[in-house]
Amino acid sequence: MDAKDLLLEEHNRVHSAAVGGDKMSMAERTFGGLTDEQMRVRPREDLNSLAWLMWHISRAEDVFANLLISGRDQVLDGGWSGRLKITRPDFGIGMTKPEVGDLSAKIDIAALRDYRDAVGRRTREIVGAFGPGDWKGEIEASAVEKAAALGCFGTRAEGMVKAFGGRPRSAVIPAILIMHSAGHMGEAATVRTTGGFGSGV
C-alpha cells in the first residue's frame, strides 16, 4: 500500500458510507441516525452543535483540498451557499458563540449532508490522481493569500497566511483531510453524549 492508498483508506473513515462505502465509518457513527433537530442542538453554551461541526470540517476540507492543495475552485462555488442557506465563505475559526448558534439554527441539514459528501468525493478525485510529485514541495503562499482574499479564513486571515504559506504539502494533506476531521468527530462524541443522543450506530 502506498501513501495515496493509505490516505484514501483513512479518508473513508471520516466520510459517510455514500462517499467511502464504509457503513461503520467514524463519520457514520458521529453524524448518522440523527434528526435535524438533534444536529442543531448545543447541549451547553461551550459546545458546538453537530451541524456546526459538520459544516466546519466540510468547509476546511473544501478550502484546503481545492484552493491550497490542487489549485481548483471550491465545491462551495457550485451553488452550494444558496442550498445551505449560509452566505459566509469561511470555515468558522474565530466565530463567536452567538454566531455558532445562528449558523446551527439556519443551515439546511439535508443540503449540509449533501455538501459534505460532495466535498469528500472531490477530495478523493484529487488525491486519486496524485503522482509521486504531488506530495512534495510546499503550500504556495499565493494560494493561501487567494483563499484569504476570498474570505475563507474570516477574521484570522493574517494568521492563517503566516501559518500555512510554505508548509510542507506532505504534512498539510493528511493533517487537514483526515486528522482535522477526526479530531472534531471526537468533539462531536461529547456533544452526542451530553445531548443524550447516544454514541452513534
- Residue 166 near residue 54, CB atoms below 8 Å: no
Amino acid at 131: G
Q: What's the pTM value of the predicted model, to 2 decimals? A: 0.96
Q: Is residue 127 part of a domain?
A: yes
Residue 24 resides in a domain: yes
Task: Say whether pLDDT at 201 is over 70.
Answer: no
Domain range for 10 is 3-195
Q: How far apart are CA 119 and CA 102, in angstroms?
A: 23
| C-alpha grid cell, residue 29 | 457513527
* pLDDT for residue 200 is more than 60: no
Could you tell me if 30 and 51 are in contact, meaning their C-beta atoms sit under 8 angstroms apart? no
* Domain assignment of residue 170, yes or no: yes
Q: Is residue 200 part of a domain?
A: no
Which residue has cell 440523527?
A: 34
**What is the mean pLDDT of the segment spanning 150-179?**
96
**Averaged over 9-13, what is the pLDDT?**
96
Query: Are 16 and 113 contacting, i.e. CB atoms less than 8 angstroms apart?
Result: yes
Residues 173-181 have a mean pLDDT of 97
Tell me whether residue 97 is in a domain.
yes
The total of structural domains in the chain comes to: 1
C-alpha span between 48 and 50 (Å, rounded): 7
pLDDT tens sequence across 24-69: 999 999 999 999 999 999 999 899 999 999 999 999 999 999 999 9
Distance separating alpha carbons of residues 183 and 179, to the nearest angstrom: 6
User: Is residue 39 in a domain?
Assistant: yes
Task: Give phi and psi for 168, each to the nearest 5.
Answer: -60, 135
Instruction: Count CB neighbours of 59 within 10 A.
Output: 26
CATH number at residue 40: 1.20.120.450
Asked if the structure places residue 201 within a domain, the reply is no
